[in-house]
Amino acid sequence: MNFWPHRRLLALAACVAACVVATLGPDPALALGKSGDEYRIKAAMLYNVARFVAWPDVSEGADERFVIVVYGRDPFGASLEEVLRGRKIAGRKIVIRRTRSFDEVLGAHIIFTSDSSAEAISALMRAAGSESALLVGDSELFCRRGGPLALAREGSRVRLVGHRGSLAACRVQLSSQLLKLVRFIDESGLRSRALQRSGPASQPGARTATR
């Protein structure tokens, strides 16, 4: 497995997208070092994810903004500004907003949330769809509840986790190179467990008891 050593983590945000793909190879998980590294790594990964996405309403232009919204609890602290300072996406200056209101995610290109509740995911996915934005979560649970993409901690590492169906429904297109780095959850297993919880009456062709 090819993991990035700790001394290179803080330089990750400066890597171009092609360099990230070439360096990470078949296992894109990033090893954590000090306890404060997790969200510096996630900030850098968020930046590089943005460079792998075809944004439908983003064109080159130094006077335009590329908006990242952090919804709900902010786990980044100052790390997001520190890692993204001076960076641009498609020639646009990166602007970071924080909010706890669904209405204030309007105008975002990326919406990041650490909220994995089904209610929040559903509402944010509707907002992201109307805005041609990419919704990114903070854990695998986010994807297991239908979120499209997450920066998930797995033990002492961070990697990209995705929900194939939700990503396919997004109005933004991830590059094939980026998709190769994503570990997709087993959606068939999720459907099977959902049917088991709902019982036989909810399955196609099941008969309901009559009195």
pTM summary value? 0.76
CA distances from 132 to 2, 45, 207 (A): 34, 20, 42
**Cα 142–Cα 143–Cα 149 angle in degrees, nearest 5:** 100
Q: How many residues are present in the chain?
A: 211
**Phi, then psi, of 104 in degrees rounded to 5:** -90, 10
Please, what's the b/e burial string for 33-46 (b: 16 or more CB within 10 A of its CB; e: otherwise)? beeebbbbbbbbbb
- Tens-digit pLDDT profile for residues 54-70: 998 765 554 589 999 99
Domain architecture of the chain: domains with CATH: 8-187 (3.40.50)
Give the DSSP H/E element, type plus range, for residue 71. strand 65-71
- Tens-digit pLDDT profile for residues 83-133: 999 999 988 999 999 999 998 999 999 999 999 999 999 999 999 998 899
pLDDT-based confidence at 6, cuts 50/70/90? very low
Distance CA 76, CA 78 (A): 6
Give the residue from 169, 122, 124, 116 showing the smallest Cα distance to 143: 116
